[in-house]
Structure 1
Amino acid sequence: MRPKCRPCITRPVTGLLTAAVLVATGGCSTASSPTPRSEPPGRAVQAAPRWTAAWGTSMQRAVPDAPDEEPNWSEEGFDDQTVRQVVRVSTGGSALRFRLSNAYGSKPLKIAGAVVARSDGGAKTKPGSTRPLTFGGSRATTIPAGRDAVSEPVPLTVVNLEKLAVSLRFAGPTGPATFHRFTTATSYRADGDQLAAVGSGAYTASVRSWYYLSAVDVQVRSARSRDAVLVFGDSMIDGVGAGPGAEGRFSDKLAERLAGAGRPSGVVNAGIAGGRLLTDSPCSGERAAVRFERELEQRPGVRTALVHLGANDLAVAMPGDPCAADGPRPTLRQLTDGHRSLVKLAHSRGVRAVGMTVVPVRGAVFPFTDSAGDRLRRQLNDWIRDSGVYDAVLDADRVLEDPARPGRPSPSYVSEDGLHPNDTGYFAVASAVGLGLL
């Protein structure tokens, strides 16, 4: 069972959903809202190459195993080891570049080498596909504490939804690692230098977290290439409840729909389980506005952002939970002001903001919120639907709610914790998005 973390729930998206679920808000006509970019008439024009986000994850500081209820390597870090991480790009391109993050490191991060290869399942790679990553012409690099490094372009053509294996070599001790806690993918660790290994034999340890790798961008040249979508929020965005290795998160299903419709686009998952709208968390990072501004700055080509946040701000702290929120529960006005600030940040960068309603929470098998918290959730959802602040609303609450039990998720759509969607639930929410408005 995945960790019983406080979920970050979604809000309704106006203009992106189909039929009764999707409603366009008045925000689309405001002066601060971005003007949708249209395709040029006539035949496609050859465009200059440009970078667009194709995969990403939000970075977090190291945390102990206990909050996760499963092991992670973040506190111990790495020493004379190679870490191989498998990611799936949402859209293809003619070249790649990679962002490595030491945002929460306590000292400079020394990377002795890094490579990318086509994944062949598990920790295996396809023979002949390995390419080195270079930084300033060197295969080794040192990233100062609190900083990131972006690789030089890697000449490897990839297709939509292709899986890549990115391997990082650490010759000496790294200290606590900047990482991402919850994933549905598996990362692998080997002793010594195993960058060139094609087989999986040396990779004897594995976890479901990502380390230091925060972004993969692809180079595209077609004038018809779509702009990227940033999916931002809490555990509902992060994919808690989705099956391991099945690419079953909301962002995964949305990327598949776009590719299947002949409109492949970058879809970047910037969810952090336990993330909050208004306050920082010792386990789940900074408050939403701080994180959102950084994500918008670092993800090239993002034109639309889907936002799902607020549930964790309404959560009831469980005794002994090191990730529990401090202070009084926020008011509805504080929650709506928090959402307004996110929309303002998006519009300041010409990005369309889509709000997602907070999903039903009353079915959780562990204490999550009380009746007052659920009442605030429903009031917040009404505001997201009706205020017109968001350019569009995706009503995840109505997609997932059990019609026979208001406030509770449908048993067909919920995972074993009674709170987060399962693969079917995430697919249902992704299916509700009207692709024509992305």
Structure 2
Amino acid sequence: MTTTWIAAHRAAVINPHEAFHLFEPRGFSGQTIRQSLRLAGSGQALRLRFSNRYGKEPLDIGGAHLAVRTQGSGIDPTSDTPLRFSGTETTTIPVGEEITSDPVELPVSAGEELTVSLYLPGDTGLSTYSAVPYDTGHAVPGNQLSAELLHHAEELPTGHFLTGVDVLAPADTRIAVAFGDSWIEGAFTTPGTDNSFPAQLNRRLTRGWIVNQGISGNRLLTDEIGDHLLSRIDHDVLAVPGVSHVLIHIGLNDLGLPGLIAHPQPAEGPTAAQFIAGLTTLADRLHAAGLTVIGSTIGPYRGTVHEGYDTETGQTVRHQVNAWLLGTDHPFDAVIDIAAAVADPAEPDRIRPDLNGGDGLHVNDAGAKAIADAVDLSLLKL
């Protein structure tokens, strides 16, 4: 059987030097950080990806270990395996660069929880990071790469440096990339449960799998939070090995973040025409690469607790864009009506109370499941 490298985990990253932050950026010095992930697919071997894409200084890695997770910061010590980079156990990632570890000859299964430990001997500066990691990470002083449990560890609500895992899988394996904002990334779903909408949809699939390239706070047309979606296409979709389909949810932050950032002053977001033009460009570029592109309506957010986010202008644009998406003139291969899947029947501009993550802007685990259950699996012929 012919095999090739296929993405089995992804975490899209944010520039810590942005002017506006929803998530507090940070760095590390003389510490071990331990982060966990859950694989979306199976393979005969794996390799890991690390990024210093937004670092201001070279990133020294004094060691990196892979292990099977037990719980919390714990690992199975019998599974603890040093990673190598071009044959060595230490490496330096240049400014703006990314690296891939040497292959680890370890059969892995979909749903398996692994833990990655990095020893960072020097001052990293503000780290290239992801907003919503699979689960809470941990940091401790010194080199504790092989520690079975990290005692008195600092908890890390954001992810750092670790951006992906590839597995050696059959060459005909095809996957989908979930691409967009917090509704893709899984904000306000329970950490460590893999209950984002793409993850819950992934569990319905019988062939192929889905990797997540969402960034909470991301926008289609404007940088911050993260590079805007149109600028992320090459790196976060086209460069993902095995991709054949793309699932998209974007727009909430284009409509709401300008008002949130400017509050209490008014601010203007894109018009419906500008946003539709952006979505059309997005679909056209993905189609040009031969991918199947599945769009979605913009989710409801009336009454969100985030001041300045919910405006009448934004709501009007949302309705106009959604009407276009549900019509016949859009450029997507299909459109998932995410808004209808979670809307309150009594007030469709709001999230249904039992699906509300608590802030009126995000869905909880049940809301993410409602979206996943609304997807026609015939759209994902992986």
TM-score norm. by structure 1 comes to: 0.81
Is 2:180 the partner of 1:221? no
- Cα deviation for residue 323 of structure 1 reads 11
Distance 1:326 1:278, change over 3 A: farther
Is 2:203 the partner of 1:256? yes
CA distance in 1, matches of 2:156, 2:265: 27
- Cα deviation for residue 328 of structure 1 reads 3.5
CA distance in 2, matches of 1:199, 1:88: 19
* Number of the residue aligned with 1:419: 361
Is 2:312 the partner of 1:409? no
CA distance in 2, matches of 1:85, 1:163: 11
Q: Give the partner amino acid of 1:347.
A: H
Superposition pairs of residues 122-271 of structure 1, within 5 angstroms: 122-183=72-133, 185-201=135-151, 204-221=153-170, 223=172, 225=173, 227-258=174-205, 262-263=206-207, 265-271=208-214
SS at match of 2:106: coil
Q: Give the partner amino acid of 2:274.
A: Q
- Cα deviation for residue 112 of structure 1 reads 1.1
Q: Give the partner amino acid of 1:238.
A: E
Deviations 1:35-94 (A, max 9, x none): xxxxxxxxxxx3x11111111111112269x9547xx5x33x111111110000111111
Is 2:350 the partner of 1:350? no
Q: Is the 8 A contact 2:180 2:213 kept in 1?
A: yes
SS at match of 1:128: helix
CA distance in 1, matches of 2:112, 2:45: 13
SS at match of 1:246: coil
Distance 1:97 1:184, change over 3 A: closer
Which of structures 1 and 2 has the larger relative contact order (alpha carbons within 8 angstroms, sep 6+)?
A: 1
Deviations 1:235-271 (A, max 9, x none): 111212212222221122112222xxx33x3321111
Gaps of 5+ in 1: 1-45
Is 2:245 the partner of 1:304? yes
Distance 1:326 1:267, change over 3 A: farther
CA distance in 1, matches of 2:184, 2:142: 35
* Number of the residue aligned with 2:322: 381
Deviations 1:129-178 (A, max 9, x none): 12222111111111111110111111111111111001111111111111
TM-score norm. by structure 2 comes to: 0.93
Is 2:382 the partner of 1:435? no
Q: Give the partner amino acid of 1:244.
A: P
* Number of the residue aligned with 1:371: 312
- Cα deviation for residue 369 of structure 1 reads 2.2
Deviates more, 1:208-217 or 1:265-274: 265-274
Superposition pairs of residues 285-364 of structure 1, within 5 angstroms: 285-315=226-256, 317=258, 321=261, 328-364=268-304
Deviates more, 1:161-170 or 1:247-256: 247-256
* Number of the residue aligned with 1:49: 3
Q: Is the 8 A contact 2:4 2:171 kept in 1?
A: no
Q: Is the 8 A contact 1:55 1:215 kept in 2?
A: yes
- Cα deviation for residue 412 of structure 1 reads 1.6
CA distance in 1, matches of 2:248, 2:265: 21
- Cα deviation for residue 436 of structure 1 reads 2.6
Q: Give the partner amino acid of 1:344.
A: D
Deviations 1:389-425 (A, max 9, x none): 0011111011111122121221121111122111100
Q: Percent identity?
A: 36
- Cα deviation for residue 222 of structure 1 reads 6.8
Is 2:28 the partner of 1:60? no
Deviates more, 1:128-137 or 1:393-402: 128-137
Q: Is the 8 A contact 2:258 2:269 kept in 1?
A: no
CA distance in 2, matches of 1:325, 1:301: 45
SS at match of 2:108: coil
- Cα deviation for residue 325 of structure 1 reads 12
Q: Give the partner amino acid of 1:301.
A: G
* Number of the residue aligned with 1:98: 48
* Number of the residue aligned with 1:24: none
* Number of the residue aligned with 2:35: 85
- Cα deviation for residue 365 of structure 1 reads 2.5
CA distance in 1, matches of 2:189, 2:367: 9
CA distance in 2, matches of 1:332, 1:68: 25
Distance 1:136 1:322, change over 3 A: farther
- Cα deviation for residue 100 of structure 1 reads 0.5
Q: Is the 8 A contact 1:119 1:165 kept in 2?
A: yes
SS at match of 2:326: helix
Q: Give the partner amino acid of 1:212.
A: F
SS at match of 1:171: strand
* Number of the residue aligned with 2:340: 398
RMSD: 2.3
Q: Give the partner amino acid of 1:213.
A: L
- Cα deviation for residue 297 of structure 1 reads 3.4
- Cα deviation for residue 304 of structure 1 reads 0.6
Deviates more, 1:401-410 or 1:87-96: 401-410
Deviations 1:85-118 (A, max 9, x none): 0000111111111110001000111111111111
